[in-house]
Amino acid sequence: MNETERRIQFLSHVDNSEGKPFPLVSTIEYKRHDPTTLAIDVLLLGDDEERTAALRYLILPPFYDSTWLTSDEPRIASVEVLGIHRVYHREFRVSFGASEIRIGLTDKPSEHDTTWFVKAELTPSGILQAVGIKRFSFTGDINFEPLESSKVEISTALGTLEASERYAHHEAEEYANKVTHSVQRASITGLLKIPAGENLAGVNESMIREVTDICTVLSFCYRQPVSFYEIEYIIDPNTTEQEQMHTATVRRRRASQEGKIDQDELIHRNNLVNGGLDELLRRYKSSPHTEEITRTIRFLAASYKIATLESSYFLAYSALDLITSAISGEGVYLLNTAKWRKIQKLLRAYIDSIADAEGLTPIVTQLKETSRIAQDLRRQESYRSL
């Protein structure tokens, strides 16, 4: 196990609906910089009768989408498994396919005011890059000298957060040679102050909402989907006694590795500094159409990522239709059938007139075919409703 991987193994149990605990050995594994990895395995303990009962409880209906792996070791926190969509077993070993885990997020109220470092890892890498000069040393050291000192900061109810480019370094061995890797990351960091009486689980829900909103606005800025896959909480060692130290993690599994799309961003980082991103976020949150704007941004961001022209066109049209409907409200104007057919005829004639001149004949032909199929499907639906 190297420093780029995390593996947690501990004695634990799950409680069935009757309150009877089933003893387990739980193992959680994932690669820190690979958001597509998340392995959750449990080994059932006890005699044959206990293990059979535990196996029946874990793999048979009623289906559930979450469970707690409650730790029986004081130094290791319990793990909540969310979004369970697959359970399979081999003898008395059970593996879960899940979308998220939460480690050490307690709902126990804090007895004292506490300060936490928080870091949310974003994907894709390559966004939020600051302008600067990199200097590489023969020893493997890398020094970065920024040419601007401005930060991309966001004011939230939890405190001030910073969205920035970060680097993680780790050593490895390749072909008997020592190698130092430098991993570029995009992240949101900050300090959270949790007053006495509040709990980390509640603060985490607020943090997820804040990070999700920031990712939505960044998706608009960079014209591609931006999301987080991990949030880490570390209690400040400078203000906390050693016996009260605590860490917590939210880890999400992504379906695929997503790189930065090679295109110019809509809003450059230079316009996000000095309160630029904070102003965008404030206007986004205060809009009466926040929900519609969120869906519109997701449609647009996805349209840049999709390879086929037809799918991109459909997503972009959906975004335009959604935001237009939201802004128009009850004042939306609907064309009757006769007027729409007249406009449709004019549009088709215009598209045909530019197809040959612009070299778009294959694309126009495909769009016509797609439109024809859509019309046929609508007719079939109309016939079925009669």
Q: What is the pLDDT of residues 221-252, one digit of tens each?
A: 999 999 999 999 998 877 666 666 688 999 99
Give the model's pLDDT for residue 95: 93
Angle at 230 between CA 228 and CA 236, to 5 degrees: 120
- Band (270; pLDDT cuts 50, 70, 90): confident
210-222: average pLDDT: 95
348, 364 contact by CB (below 8 A)? no
276-289: average pLDDT: 92
Angle at 85 between CA 81 and CA 90, to 5 degrees: 85
Segment (H or E) for 219: helix 200-222
268-287: average pLDDT: 92
Give the model's pLDDT for residue 232: 95
Give the model's pLDDT for residue 30: 95
Q: Exposed, middle or buried by CB within 10 Å (0-12, 13-18, 19+), for 341?
A: exposed
Give the model's pLDDT for residue 386: 40
- Band (353; pLDDT cuts 50, 70, 90): confident
Instruction: Label residues 86-109 b or e (16+ Cβ within 10 Å = b).
Output: ebeeeebebebebbbbbbbbeeee
Query: In whole angstroms, what is the distance from residue 21 CA to residue 16 CA?
Result: 7
Give the model's pLDDT for residue 209: 95
How do residues 23-66 score in pLDDT, each as one tens digit? 999 999 999 999 999 999 999 998 898 899 888 888 876 667 88
77, 248 contact by CB (below 8 A)? yes
C-alpha distance from residue 80 to each of 44, 53, 355 (Å): 18, 21, 57
Give the model's pLDDT for residue 138: 72
| pLDDT reading at 338 higher than 90 | no
104-108: average pLDDT: 88
- Band (122; pLDDT cuts 50, 70, 90): very high
Average confidence score pLDDT of the chain: 84
373 dihedral zone (left: phi>0; alpha: psi -120 to 50; beta): alpha
Residue written as token pair 């970060």 = 166
119, 189 contact by CB (below 8 A)? yes
- In the chain the first and final C-alpha atoms are separated, in Å, by 64
95-109: average pLDDT: 92
Q: Can you point out the beta strands (E) in 91-205?
A: 93-97, 100-103, 114-123, 132-136, 142-146, 153-156, 159-174, 177-194
Phi and psi, residue 369, nearest 5°: -65, -40
109-138: average pLDDT: 85
Q: Exposed, middle or buried by CB within 10 Å (0-12, 13-18, 19+), for 114?
A: buried
Which candidate, 71, 120, 157, places its Cα nearest to that of 250? 120
